[in-house]
Amino acid sequence: MDQLRPTGESDGELWRKAAQGDDPSAFGGLFERHIDAVYNHCFRRTGSWEAAEDLASVVFLEAWRRRHDVSLSGESILPWLLAVANNVVRNRDRSLRRHRRLLAKLPPAVVAPDPADDAVSRVDDERAMQRVLEVFTRLLPDEQDVLALCVWAGLSYTDAAVALGIPVGTVRSRLSRAREHLRRLAGLEAGAGRTGGPAPTSSPGSAQGRAQRRALSAHRSNNVNGELLP
């Protein structure tokens, strides 16, 4: 595993090596460094462990596909990865809406129980996140983006601006508007009450390979907490 995680090198250096093909482990180092943040961002946007695992994989596949075309504007690739994640989530949501319209015409399927040991805690996490998303998804798309990046993912205003391709001042104004909108939607007085993302008690399933599963599960319980309201 140490071969996949070069130490002492910035994201920019690893990204350039991955693009040039100089170091086969460079992209693996970026994956190991940022998979938790991307995974948790996808979970917060979807409320589903399984969907987040699949979408995080899509994000890194897209990063690999575009490694020759994208130049970092800073030394961290995370803002760009999270912007890709936002687009991937939106594409998934559009596909789900189409699929649901088709499935509505079919008889209901029988859902088999999840045999995983952590099934109960995974369901609890997803239910808690779904309650948050019931409010979150009523925001405008640009409000969702800045809130997810600045509050949940913990990006600075500058990094969020880079990820979204907008001025820092616009990030600030959208975030302020999103918070005020959330207060109204939640029926809260300004400054009162909090709505938080769940602190997950479980790791994702075992659909992917052993090495990737270890990377996905590392430190998640420390990284998923996030608040919607200031």
| DSSP code per residue over 168-187 | HHHHHHHHHHHHHHHHHHHT
Q: How big is the chain by its Cα radius of gyration, in Å?
A: 18
pTM, full prediction: 0.62
Output the pLDDT for position 89.
92
| Tokens of residue 138, six digits | 């009523």
Output the pLDDT for position 215.
39
Output the pLDDT for position 170.
95
DSSP, residue by residue, the chain: -GGG--SS--HHHHHHHHHHTS-TTHHHHHHHHHHHHHHHHHHHHHS-HHHHHHHHHHHHHHHHHTTTT---SSS-SHHHHHHHHHHHHHHHHHHHHHHHHHHTTSPPPPPPPP-STTHHHHHHHHHHHHHHHHHHTTS-HHHHHHHIIIIIS---HHHHHHHHTS-HHHHHHHHHHHHHHHHHHHTPPTT----B-----S---S-S-HHHHHHHHTTHHHH---BS--
- Where do the domains of the chain lie? 2-107+119-223
Output the pLDDT for position 102.
52
Output the pLDDT for position 80.
94
Q: What is the mean pLDDT of each run of 10 residues along the chain (230 residues)?
A: 59 92 90 96 91 94 92 87 93 67 56 56 75 85 91 90 92 93 70 46 40 40 40
